[in-house]
Each structure stands twice: as C-alpha cells, then as structure tokens.
Structure 1
Amino acid sequence: MKINIHRSRWKRLRWPVIGAAVVASAIGSAWATGWRFNSTPSEPLGLYRLTPVTAQTVIHRGDLISFCPPVTLYPFMVHGACPNGGAPFLKTVVGVPGDVVDVSASGVSVNGRLLPESKVIVRPKAWPGLTLPAAYGIHKLGAGEYWAFGSGDPGVSFDSRNWGVVRQDRIIARSSG
C-alpha cells in the first residue's frame, strides 16, 4: 500500500494556506485604498482612512495628516520609507497658514489659545539620556505650513513642539477630522 505524503500534507495545509492568502489579500487591499492602523500613543488607537495629498489639497485644522517629519531618526521612531529612514507620522493639524503659534515654557498657544498638555518634552522619561529639540518661540505660519500635534496623548508625543512647522510638500496623506 503506497501513501502519497505530498497529498496528505496538502490536505492538512490547504485551508490554513487559503485563509492566510485571503487575509494577506484583504490587508493589501486595505493598504492600497488608504487604510492605516495607528498603534502609537500620539493619536487614538484605531483604523484611519487616508487620502493622498496633492498641491491642490486643502488641509484644515483638525485634519489628521501623515507626513515625513523634518528630523533625524531617533531611537523611538519606527523604521520606514521617509528620507530620514523613519516611518511617516500621523498627527492632528492644530495650526494652519496665517495662524500664530507661540511655544513657551507654559506650552503651545495657537492664536492665543493654550493647547492642553502641550508643554514641550525634551527629555522623555522612556528614553533616559536622550535630549530632543524644542521649537521655542513665535511662529507665524505661512502658505503651505502647518503645526502638527499628537492629540492622543500629548504628554508623550513627538511633534511640531519639537521641530516646528510641517511643510505641505512633506505631507503624504490626510484624513478629515
């Protein structure tokens, strides 16, 4: 009596392989149509639908933007396809062209309104010995300049408080708020 080992192996693996192919296809389709999962504390945990940004895209206060941050790669950043070797960030737009942003020891004010929990973090507790930049001062946002803020847990977010404006040419996609 001859047992075909290849056939019995395929029978055992057929449904797991088909299931994995279906899941991989669904994830690939979701990614291709702009769906992203955020697991960082900077924005609320969840699934977000992002649309590509062009020169004609209007970005509003409250929109979530995905962009390549204008900083060097820090040890807490995820590796990715941005010019600095990191992955794009997802942050909330709190300042738009024409706004005046004031970064001081008290925190960040946009047009005179202090954002809650917006003090600049230069020495993150999770990374002893690491010193981050700070964008202290008054910033008048010009055309194509935005102020990004991690509204999920601002107490640990690395955002415009640290590096300043995000220029529209760095913005990859947005999700309306």
Structure 2
Amino acid sequence: MRKLSRRKCVLTLFFWLVLALPFLFRQQMPGLFIRNDTESMPLGFYVILPDRPIKAGDIVVFTPPQELWQLANDRGWTAGERYWLKEVAAVEGDKYTITDTGIYINGRYAGPVASVDRQGQPLPQLRGTFQVKPGQFLPLATYRPSSFDGRYFGELPLTTVYKHVYPLFTMKLLEVFY
C-alpha cells in the first residue's frame, strides 16, 4: 500500500474543507464563489470575477432560455439549477461549423456532436456554418464532450451571462497531486 506524503494529506484535507463550506453556510456565499456539481465542467469551486467584456476562453455562469432549461430539466440533466457553467467558445465575428461528427470553431475542431443523449433520446440537431452575431456568444463545455451546449442549440445573448468565473479548487486540480 502506498503511503501518502504530509503535503498530499494537507492538500486533501484543505480540499474537503473548502468543499464543505457551502454546506456549512447553506450554499450561499454571494459574491465570493460558485460551487459546480454538474458534469459539464470540473466539479469544485469557481471564484466570481469582476465584470468585464466576454472573450473566447472565458468561463461564464449564465441563465439558459426557458425552453433549453426545460428540456435539460425534463431529461434529468440538471438538479433544477437555473444557472449553467460553460466556456465561451466563440464571440462576435467568430465562425463555427457543426456537422454530424463535430463542431469546428474558426476552422479548428472543438469536439464531437452526438445525435442522441446517454439515454438514447434524440438531441436537437443544429447543422451548418454560422457566424456569431453581435451581442451573442457560443457556450461550449469541452471538458465533457456529452455536455448539452451550443453544439445543439447555437449561440445565446450576452444578456444571459450572470458572472465570469475562474476555477479556484476543482477535482481536475486535485488530480495533479495524485
């Protein structure tokens, strides 16, 4: 059996302490961080950043339109959460192409596209080449290729963005230590 170093034990203890904070404070610490417990992005905590213009590569928390939220909720993809966490894959002027096999952002492969979800139910099919319109962004979760995101519904208004966030402590970060 492998013996853990003191550093790994302290880091693991710190991780679980940080993970427990929202439960100790009833998951409400406004203005500090957001806890992500969905599969679209790494599980863990994200620091809320000051507002600034959105650019490709940012991670944002946004409110999906009612019909998208309803579909995701009906299929059990959310726990009733009204906010989604995704990466901004494309912004105004960027081009994206969605084919039966993948999504391409400005000509570069960004991930696969499925026709059915994990339960075998059909997913919305968006195909073609598009240019992101002013006041819009394309949300994508490249961490989890099966995520319900812009590859199935396209771009969304920037007005849906609630906050920018940055990973503070995630399960992906913890993998570095083990």
Q: Do the structures match in fold with TM over 0.5? A: yes
Question: Are 2:70 and 1:73 equivalent residues in the alignment?
Answer: yes
TM-score by length of 1: 0.70
Question: Aligned letter for 1:113?
Answer: R
- Aligned CA RMSD, in angstroms, stands at 2.4
> SS of the residue aligned with 2:25?
helix
Matched residues, number? 141
Contact 2:49 2:166 in 1 (8 A): no
Contact 1:135 1:160 in 2 (8 A): no
Match of 2:113 in 1: 120
Deviation at 1:76, TM superposition (A): 2.0
Match of 2:19 in 1: none
Identity %: 26
Question: Aligned letter for 1:102?
Answer: T
1:96-107 aligned within 5 A: 96-107=91-102
Which structure's residues are more often strand, by fraction?
A: 2
1:85-164 aligned within 5 A: 87-115=82-110, 118-125=111-118, 127-128=119-120, 130-154=121-145, 156-164=146-154
Q: Which has the larger radius of gyration?
A: 1
Contact 1:120 1:134 in 2 (8 A): no
1:36-57 deviation line (CA, Å, top 9, x unaligned): 111222111110012475xxx3
Question: Distance in 2 between the 1:97 and 1:44 partners?
Answer: 26
